Structure 1
């Protein structure tokens, strides 16, 4: 068998989600986490990570970009996305607290959700400590 790398942009949305999950899982393994995909979102999480210390666990919502939503507030959710080959894993509520005053998008005000297709310089600076 000859393996051929895939072109991410040619994948359908579900295949992209699974690809991103596998990439994030591989990186989280470097930090001692074993991940498990959840077939149904559980308390807002797409997957959970369990640390080798036997104590630490994280609930993770996988996104295609920097995203914030009022529906995740208070659920102790981490958000994860990949941009420019960097994997970001950030605590949702902490970043929302830092950014909410800067979001003037009418969609966020009316729907409670916000995302951006590309990170601004300011957002890259804010999130740099959350790069895995």
Structure 2
């Protein structure tokens, strides 16, 4: 029998276990919006899972532990999902990246030039303002390319 008497602290999980944990948590949140999720065993076009709403529209989602932009995710119609302060964000990667880059010159920063990606666990006020419409508690529906 599995042990249901002791909760395991998130910090004690390895990276793969954290990814599975986060997937389960955000799937429960998305279910409140009538969205079911389909986990992918291997990143498919950059996606960790597919989110499907009640009308059958779907989006590809990359699950992260923090806000994240990457060159490899550009032009893939991909959404990024991440937790922050016990809340979840689900944002269209290219749109938020473009807006943030236009405001802050992200692609000219040394980390981007070296690694072709950028992420932070502590988003600036400016970035949080850009992400605000994508906070799941305030979400008004997923826009799909389909």
Q: Is the shorter-chain TM-score for this pair beyond 0.5, marking a shared fold?
A: yes
The unaligned stretches of length 5 or more in structure 2 are: 137-146
1-structure distance, mates of 2:61, 2:13:
22
Q: Distance in 2 between matches of 1:32 and 1:47?
A: 16
Q: Secondary structure at the match of 1:96?
A: helix
Q: Please point out which of 122, 137, 144 is paired with 1:118.
A: 122
CA distance 1:40–1:88, shift in 2 (3 Å): same
Tell me how far apart the structure 2 counterparts of residues 90 and 66 of structure 1 sit (CA, whole Å): 9
1 or 2, which has the higher strand percentage? 1
The alpha-carbon deviation at position 2 of structure 1 amounts to: 4.6
Does residue 106 in structure 1 map to residue 107 in structure 2? no
Return the alpha-carbon distance in structure 1 between the equivalents of residues 4 and 79 of structure 2: 37
Local SS of the residue matching 1:90: strand
**Count of matched residue pairs:** 131
- TM-score with structure 2 setting the length: 0.84
Residue in structure 2 matched with residue 34 of structure 1 by the alignment: 36
The 4+ residue runs of structure 1 with deviation greater than 6 A are: none
Unaligned runs of 5+ in 1: none
TM-score, structure 1 length as denominator? 0.92
Give me the CA root mean square deviation.
1.4
